[in-house]
Amino acid sequence: MFVNPFAELSASVPPFIMQAYVIAMALLVAIGTVYDTIHKGSAKYFFENLRSSGKGARQVRGGEKLSLALETAAEALTSGEFCNPRRRIAHLLGMYGFIIYAITTAILVFAYPTRATAAPTILVQLWYLGALMICVGGYWFWFFIRVDVAAEGHSPLRIMRADVFVLSLVVSATFALLWAYLETQASAWSSVFLGAYLIATTVLFGSVPWSKFSHMFFKPAAAYEKRLAEANGSRSNLPLPADRPATFGSGRRQPRHY
């Protein structure tokens, strides 16, 4: 039987503290994303390219722009940028698992934070399902897909800054499931795993400027701008890759995505 772990936790932790923590994590994401966008120049780069793409050989009308936007949205929702089917499935599991997990966490914490306010069973089940999807997609990627880096001469155990998001997300979801089980069993170990869960979650949302978290906001915009530039023929006017110097006096630089 699935039990709302946050309602069980309310016996020792006041609901307003749980709610304050969720709000704090949301603020970390907002502040971190803004900082990341400014620091790496993503927004400036995007709007400059969007402005220049409007000077193409032909004008793209509203109907075509809508069609391009829908194509971009469909690609993002299906992870169409991944050619490898295994990577795509793993990414979809993690992406939709995270969406389900984040939304249900907020609903359970704010709408059903105590035992007196029983949460719908389907909502609690979705919380567990979302966390489980993150674990399946994340561990599958890390141990069975990412090991392909060995073919490039790199150690499968090498951890880079870009891996912070995936690792912290999977660890957070793992500790969430372990804590939820122990909390509902009234185990003395529940507080230990709760602490580990909070640490991993804080790292996840607090490391936005140094991880790939903010890419989920920038990538769809960049993909739309690319489609628009290709549609009006201005694609050739875009800046050169970061490893090649700009010429002809161009002062634009690509965003610094490390």
Decide if 234 contacts 56 (C-beta within 8 A).
yes
Two tokens at 112?
Answer: 């059903």
**197 pLDDT band (50/70/90 cuts)?**
very high
Q: What is the dihedral of CA 92, 95, 97, 99, to 10 degrees?
A: -140
**83 pLDDT band (50/70/90 cuts)?**
confident
pLDDT single digits (tens) 212-237: 666 666 666 667 777 777 777 665 44
H-helix or E-strand spanning residue 118: none
pTM: 0.76
**249 pLDDT band (50/70/90 cuts)?**
very low
DSSP 233: T
The residue type found at 161 is R
CA–CA distance, 181 with 201 (Å, rounded to integer) = 18
Interhelix angle 164-184/85-111, rounded to 10 degrees, is 50
According to DSSP H, which parts of the chain are helical? 5-9, 15-40, 42-53, 62-78, 85-111, 121-140, 164-184, 190-206, 215-232
Decide if 141 contacts 133 (C-beta within 8 A).
no
Q: Is the pLDDT of residue 30 over 60?
A: yes
Phi, psi of 53 (to 5 degrees): -70, -20
Q: Is the pLDDT of residue 242 over 60?
A: no
Share of the chain above pLDDT 70, in %: 70
Please, what is the Cα angle at 68 between 63 and 69, to 5 degrees? 95
pLDDT single digits (tens) 63-76: 777 787 777 777 77
By CB atoms closer than 10 A (0-12, 13-18, 19+), residue 55 is: exposed
pLDDT single digits (tens) 141-182: 888 887 655 555 556 566 776 678 889 999 999 999 999 999
DSSP string, 84-95: SHHHHHHHHHHH
Greater model confidence, 164 or 13: 13
CA–CA distance, 179 with 192 (Å, rounded to integer) = 8
pLDDT of residue 235: 59
**54 pLDDT band (50/70/90 cuts)?**
low
